[in-house]
Amino acid sequence: MFPYLAIILFVESTAAEIFSETVGKVIVTQNTCSVMPHRVWKRLGSSGPKPLGEYPPETIKFLMTWVHTAHGVESRLENMLLKWDEQSICFDRPTTLILKKAADGGSFSDFMNKFSYLEVPEHWVVRKDEDDLESWRNVKIDECSTTNDVTYHCPESAFKDSCTQADLEKCSVRMEINSSEDFFTFSRRLGRSHLVATKALIGTIIRNGNIFDVKPVELPQRIFKITLAKTDMMSIGTSLLKY
C-alpha cells in the first residue's frame, strides 16, 4: 500500500500542465557544412579554393545552382567560399521555428488553501510537431532581434543551456501562494490569453465596457486558459481580466 501511494504523490507533484500560445516565429541561422561531391570539386580546379573573383561566371553559376538544389537555400556565396576547404563547404542556413509563450497551469492543494505552480521560462520554440513536448526548447528572447515583435532573428547562443519540456524543473522555480481566501483568483497573461486559477465557480463577462451589459458564466474548471473578445472584460473573484 505505502509504496503505491508514494508513487502517486510523486507523479502529482511533478506533473505540470503546460498551457501555451503561439506568438510569432523565430529564424535561427545555423552554420551548416556539407561534403562537396567530387564532381563539384572538379569544376573548381584542383589547386584549392581561390578568391571568388578569380572564377569564371559560369563556374560561380554552377556552384550557386549546386548549393541551391542540394540544400534548398539561397546563400551568399562570398561568405560560403571563405569557409570552404577540400572536404566541405559551409554556409549559413536559416531555419524558421514557431515561437510560443508557455506557462504552467499549477495546482491547488487538497484543501485548496495553497496554490502552487512552476515559474517556467516564458519563450519557447517548436518545430512543426507541436504535440511532441520533448522537442520544445526555451529561447533567451532578449538575445534575439526583432522589428515587429512577431518575427525574431536569433543567434544559436540564444539556445545555449536551454531546457526541454522534459527537464522543466531544471530551469523553473516553484511558487506557492496562499489561496485560503474564498474567491481566490490568480491570473497571468499568456500571449493574448489569460491563464486563470480560481476557487470561484462563476465569472462575469462585461461587454463593451458597459457594466449593465453583463453575462454570468459558469467556470467548469478551477484552472483554465481564456481568450477574451476585444470588446469584453471578465471579472472572476477578485480579478478583472481585459483583452
Residue 186: CB minimum distance to ligand NAG, A: 14
Residue 221: CB minimum distance to ligand NAG, A: 23
Burial, 92: exposed, middle or buried (Cβ in 10 Å; 0-12, 13-18, 19+)? middle
Residue 109: CB minimum distance to ligand NAG, A: 11
From residue 145, how far is each of 29, 94, 140, 142 by CA, in Å?
Answer: 12, 15, 11, 8
Kindly indicate which of the ranges 6-14, 27-35, 177-185, 198-206 contains the residues binding ligand NAG, using the contact rule CB under 6 A: 177-185
Interface with ligand NAG includes 178 (CB under 6 A)? yes
Kindly indicate which of the ranges 16-24, 50-58, 89-97, 174-182 contains the residues binding ligand NAG, using the contact rule CB under 6 A: 174-182
Interface with ligand NAG includes 110 (CB under 6 A)? no
The H-or-E segment that residue 68 falls in is helix 57-71
122, 20 in Cβ contact below 8 A? Answer: no
Interface with ligand NAG includes 167 (CB under 6 A)? no
Q: Based on CB atoms, which residue is closest to ligand NAG, 93 or 114?
A: 114
215, 207 in Cβ contact below 8 A? Answer: yes
Residue 180: CB minimum distance to ligand NAG, A: 4
DSSP assignments along 188-219, one per residue: EEETTEEEEEES-SEEEEEETT-TTSEEEEE-
Q: Based on CB atoms, which residue is closest to ligand NAG, 148 or 178?
A: 178
Site size with ligand NAG, rule: CB under 6 A:
3
The widest CA-to-CA distance across the chain, in whole angstroms, is 83
Q: Which residues sit at the interface with ligand NAG, rule CB under 6 A?
A: 178, 180-181
